[in-house]
Structure formats: C-alpha cells, structure tokens
Amino acid sequence: MMAPVIVLVRPQLAENIGMAARAMLNCGLTELRLVRPDEAPDHPRALAAATHADGVLRSARVFDTVEAAVGDLHHVFATCPRHRDMVKEVITPRAAAADLRAMVDNGERPAILFGPERTGLESDEISLADVQVSIPLNPDFNSLNLAQAVLVMGYEWWQARAEAPDRVLVTNKAVPATKGELAGFFRRLEAALDECGFLRDERMRPTMILNIRAMFQRAGLMSHEINTLQGIVTGLTERPHASSIPGSRPGKRSSD
C-alpha cells in the first residue's frame, strides 16, 4: 500500500524521532526520511521511544537537503504553525488528508515535511512545498511537540481512508430485545410497583409509568438484559434467596 512519506527536517532529539516513528506506524505510515538529523534514526534512545515501531527507524533514509529528500516525490506538504510571508495556500490537516488520499489513489507520491523542534522550517525549505499545512489549535499555546504534529497528520490520513462508521454499538453478538419482550418487562415491573404501592397516586400514575418506560426505552436493551431485569424484580419482591439471618446486610453474610 502506498502512503505519504514523512520527512523530518533537522530533528534535534532522538526521542522525538523515535516517538514520531511510533506515531507513523500507528497511522499506517512506514516510510521515514530525515534531513541532517542531530542524532541517527537508529540511536538507542530513538529505538526505545519507538517501542515496536523500530522497523520504521531501521529503514529510514538520511539526506543532506530537503531538495534531495523529496526529489523522487510528486507533492510536498509543509507543516508549520505560523504563516510566513509567502503567498502560498495554507490548509488544515483534514483538508490535506483528503488531498493526500486522492494523490495516493492516483499513484502519486506525496511527502509531509516537519521542521526542527525549536525553530520550525526555514523559508527556503517551505518554498519547496506546494502547500502549507497549519494545525488549528489554541492560539495562545500552539507549539506542538514534533511527534504530536506527526500524529495529527497521520491521524487525519488514517481517518480519510474509506469511511468507517463513526458510531457502533458493540454488542458481542447480543440480540436486541423485541418490543414484545420489553412490553413484557414493563407489565411485570408495573404490576410489582402497583402491588407495593409505588404507583398508588392515581393522578400521577400515568405520568410516572411513561417516565419509567422512557428510561428503559433509552437504554436500548438486549434480550438477555430483559431477563436480568425480570430477575431483579423477582429478586427484590420475592427474595427467594434472601439471607435467613434477619437484618443481615451484604458483607456480613456468613452463609447462604
């Protein structure tokens, strides 16, 4: 699978190179290039910070210039927090990710450039990019750690893949209750509440029943959960296994 190339320009700390590699692999990115790094990509502190993404570091390539690092690629996106005094398109990571997907789907190879921790990319390096990417963040504190910036770009790249659903109810094969099962539970509960006197106020009774039903409706109950609830009502009302010691409380039960 083709994916964008991550280019770290003059990174200063081995830990950041390693954490960037880990963030890359989290997002399905595996091709790392470095321009004049202060520490080698296979530095022990880089390998330690990468945890299981050391393969990304070991296959990383080192270049002398940004121009050389992106020479075989088709598009360059430069990440930078500040707008420089150049006329250049500035887009968000989300918009960039959509462009990156389209390029890769088209068989083209894009790169994403990240500058040094302290200073960011220089103007002549940014000038090699087709577009600048600026991450919208708290304007009073928008300096991201290098690996964090890599993660945001990679995260958006991953989200831009074939759309996955945003919201899933994990049921582990549980079957939703039918409306008949739910109605059966309501009958059982309301009979018990009538009997114990909870619904004795005739005027309030209809509203109370509606409100009780609304709570359980909202929970989106599964079939087996209806059984649990039925068991709870039976347990609380009939106390078939209640402790035989009068007044005993949970925790003090010595036998059953």
Nearest approach, Cβ of residue 66 and its own copies (Å): 20
**What is the number of other CB atoms lying within 10 angstroms of the CB of residue 40?**
14
The residue among 35 and 152 lying less far from its own copies, judged by its C-beta, is 152
Q: Which is nearer to its own copies, 44 or 235 (CB)?
A: 235
Cβ nearer to its own copies, comparing 102 with 242: 242
Nearer to its own copies, 36 or 45 (CB): 45
Instruction: Judge whether 154 and 101 are in contact, CB under 8 Å.
Output: no
The span from the first CA to the last CA of the chain, in angstroms, equals 61
Among all chains, which residue has been given the structure tokens 């921790």?
Answer: 117
Nearer to its own copies (CB atom), residue 12 or residue 159: 159
Distance between CA 97 and CA 163 in Å, rounded? 13
Nearest distance, CB of residue 131 and its own copies, angstroms: 9
CB of 207 to its own copies, least distance (A): 11
CB of 50 to its own copies, least distance (A): 11
Q: How far apart are CA 100 and CA 103, in angstroms?
A: 5
| Cβ atoms 90, 125 nearer than 8 A | no
Between 23 and 36, whose beta carbon lies closer to its own copies?
A: 23
- Rg value, the chain, Cα: 30
Look up residue 165 and give its DSSP letter: P
Nearby residues of 206 by Cβ (< 8 Å), 6 or more positions away: none
Cβ 177 to its own copies, closest distance in Å? 11
Structure tokens given for 5: 């190339």
CB-side neighbour CA atoms (13 Å) of 181:
16
Q: How far is the CB of 53 from its own copies (least distance, A)?
A: 7
- Look at the chain and count its residues: 256
